[in-house]
Amino acid sequence: MISALFLTYIYQPFFNILVGLYWGVGEITGYPDMGIAVIIFSVIVRLFLLPFDFAVDRSADEKVNIANQIKTLEKEFVHDPIKLKLEKRKLLKSNPGTIASEVFSMFIQVIIVLMLYRIFTTGLGGADLHLLYSFMPPIATPINLFFLGEFDLSHTNYTLNLIQSSLIFIIEVLHMLFAPLPTSRRQFISLAIFLPIVSFILFAFLPAGKKMFIITSLIFSIFMALVKQVIYWYKLAFATKPAVLPTEIPAKIDDNLPTTKS
């Protein structure tokens, strides 16, 4: 039941969009290229997810606020662990949006991973071409799965894997540079060094088409991080400062009034 719903309402529409983009690239350039179609597809997906990205950004700020409140509670109830547990539970219940946005974001990412894995392992090879809608234009088969005539999107590619890990390093460094709180050495090692290495190993056997999507998404994320930071700096630089009222307004002196001599 779940697999049927996934196939009909999630996989099939996105599969048709990707194949439609592939056809459109061929009509415009005269040479259909699935890699270019994947790049356009990735940008469309990221634009669609922008509202959720902003929600996650807000939840990140809320998490910092919650962490600070928990530290305060731990100091206040250091000798009363039962009371501390109750207060922590009450605090988390008062901020359900933070947890919900994180769960929803993870759910969307898992869906995309599953969808793209099937698309590039079996779908575009011909196994799922029967899922194309009847109104779709005729697609010449076999579909060209080579990006720029060099990268086979249906197989793994270590060059793209290295680019992907390098971009993960860049985005994590940017997050730490722009973070409101200072980054510890342990966080830097785990996020900027350990995470790219682990991602290189984990994604080493994924098809290159999936990596093309991740690479485009990471470049999009880097661009958005820079835009958000520039906007923050602009607001900070041109923030309206409250007018400072004088504490004492001197009385106006009329030069025509006689002065008294002592």
Segment 165-214, tens digit of pLDDT: 999 999 889 888 877 666 778 878 888 888 889 889 988 888 888 889 88
Quick one: pLDDT band at residue 64, thresholds 50, 70, 90?
Answer: low
Neighbours of 41 (CB within 10 A): 24
All residues at 6 or more sequence positions from 218 whose CB lies less than 8 Å from its CB, including other chains:
164, 167, 168, 170, 171
pLDDT for 262 equals 44
- Global pTM reads 0.71
* Residue 254 confidence (pLDDT) above 70: no
Closest to 200 (Cα-Cα) out of 173, 153, 172, 160? 160
